[in-house]
Amino acid sequence: MPTQLEEAKNNNLTALMKRIAADEQVKPRQILKNLKAGTVVIPLNKNHKIKKPCGIGLGLRTKVNANIGTSTDKCRLEDELKKLGAAIIYGADTVMDLSVGPQPRLVRKEILKHSTVPVGTVPIYEVAVKAEIRRKDILGFNAQDIFETLEDQARDGVDFFTIHAGVTKKSLEALKKKRRLLGIVSRGGAILAGWIRRHNKENPFYEDFDRILDIAYEYDVTLSLGDALRPGSVLDATDKAQISELEILGELAERAKKRHVQVIIEGPGHVPLDQIQKNISLEKKICRGAPFYILGPLVTDVASGWDHINGAIGGALAASFGADFLCYVTPSEHLRHPDIEDVKTGVIASRIAAHAADIVKNPRVALRWDRDMSVARKKRDWQAQIKLSIDPDKAKRYRKTSQPHLSDVCTMCGEYCSIKLMEGCI
């Protein structure tokens, strides 16, 4: 069965393309054209049936991903399934299972079974977990272990893979020369860098990229080319190591598209506000418009406990400049494994960022929501305002405590309610 990209190249408008077009209120031919150009992807494995597939990329609503999954310390499957439910309810368009706890396959299969949205993974995590279980050594794996895991995950229905193919012997040498404040902060990147050094071999994701393309093509898994060398400090942003890796990802993206494999590019990380626009335009230029999946970006290093706001500031700006896909950041970033409340808060913060960007990217569609809210505010229609809120539960709770003004104004201005005072005046 052809991939969605192959169908687009053959000018076949599939039912999935039509469905995405209807959801996004764009013409189906636009989806086909952008899929063909590689500026839009539809991450959906041939073996995965879900209620809410989505398109990511040019001309489409900015999408939000929520990371869930077990850690070595917190590994209850029920908790991760609850987080999955919360992430979807509060508006995540995709989820990634980043499990590194025991029984990674069981967790992944359960998440795949229960998710109504596309599911991504970082396969090197499972490779490392299996190596730890079998050989008591996280780095005790070989290339064959990697490809077996990729095949397993693709067969099970994973919709997109993060592939850390940009960390190579050469890029590690370059990184050694240019002393960074925070080295490698990507977990997958660190595993592969350790493996390359230990075994003195080239990264199998890079060296055997064609083998990965074979697997991705067979199941129509979208490749998310990971930025193993992303900056983990605003002081390391946009450095040579980051840009050299981006150039490698650009070349690999072209190879993927030629093989009819859909591809997105992952991006930083920690980036000061004044470098965000440059980062987006570099990606779009080097990777020929491939959808850009931003991990934040966090615009300062000091927001511990409030990194969801930090990420939303960077994400809103990045998306307004053309980033297509925001990976959420929770308040627990850098501090602990997120709980359900952290997941909810992180998703909502990213959704606000995404919508703020969509107002400038696609006002025709995005502004309808804001217009409806403004009309409800003008009418002081509290029920409608609560319903239209990004977090209706919280809005309802706050409104309920607006005592004693529960009728036609609120306790912010009370009798001085400007909206009420102006009623009938203009």
Q: Which residues bind ligand SF4 (CB under 6 A)?
A: 380, 409-410, 412-413, 417-419
Question: 126 with 120: CB under 8 angstroms?
Answer: no
Helix (H, G, I), strand (E, B) or coil at 240: helix
Q: Toward ligand SF4, which CB reaches closer, 114 or 377?
A: 377
Q: 121 - beta bridge partners?
A: 97, 161
Give min distance, CB of 412 to ligand SF4, in A: 3
Q: Toward ligand SF4, which CB reaches closer, 305 or 414?
A: 414
Q: Toward ligand SF4, which CB reaches closer, 77 or 419?
A: 419
State the greatest distance between any 2 C-alpha atoms of the chain, in Å, as a whole number. 77
Q: Toward ligand SF4, which CB reaches closer, 81 or 419?
A: 419
Give min distance, CB of 228 to ligand SF4, in A: 48
Give min distance, CB of 408 to ligand SF4, in A: 9
Alpha-carbon torsion (315, 190, 96, 14), positive or negative: positive
Q: Toward ligand SF4, which CB reaches closer, 360 or 413?
A: 413
Which has the closest alpha carbon to 85: 103, 110, 105, 106? Answer: 110
Q: Toward ligand SF4, which CB reaches closer, 102 or 414?
A: 414
Helix (H, G, I), strand (E, B) or coil at 121: strand
Per-residue buried b or exposed e for 243-273, using 16+ beta carbons within 10 Å of the residue's own CB: ebbbebbbebbeebbebbbbbbbbbbbbbbe
DSSP state of 72: S
Question: 55 with 16: CB under 8 angstroms?
Answer: no
Q: Toward ligand SF4, which CB reaches closer, 71 or 418?
A: 418
Give min distance, CB of 421 to ligand SF4, in A: 8
Strands 263-267 and 325-327, how do they pair? unpaired
Give min distance, CB of 96 to ligand SF4, in A: 39
Give min distance, CB of 420 to ligand SF4, in A: 6
Strands 56-57 and 40-41, how do they pair? antiparallel
Helices 273-286 and 307-320: crossing angle in degrees, nearest 10, is 50
Give min distance, CB of 414 to ligand SF4, in A: 6
d(CA 250, CA 54): 23
Give min distance, CB of 379 to ligand SF4, in A: 11
Give min distance, CB of 402 to ligand SF4, in A: 8
Q: Which residues contact 273 (CB under 8 A, 6 or more apart)?
A: 299, 313, 314, 317
Give min distance, CB of 373 to ligand SF4, in A: 12
Q: Toward ligand SF4, which CB reaches closer, 138 or 373?
A: 373
Residue pointed to by tokens 């079998």: 134
Q: Toward ligand SF4, which CB reaches closer, 273 or 413?
A: 413
Residue pointed to by tokens 């626009």: 277
Question: 376 with 385: CB under 8 angstroms?
Answer: yes
CB atoms within 10 A of CB 60: 29
Q: 57 - beta bridge partners?
A: 40
Helices (H), 200-339: 204-207, 209-219, 240-258, 273-286, 307-320
Q: Toward ligand SF4, which CB reaches closer, 178 or 379?
A: 379
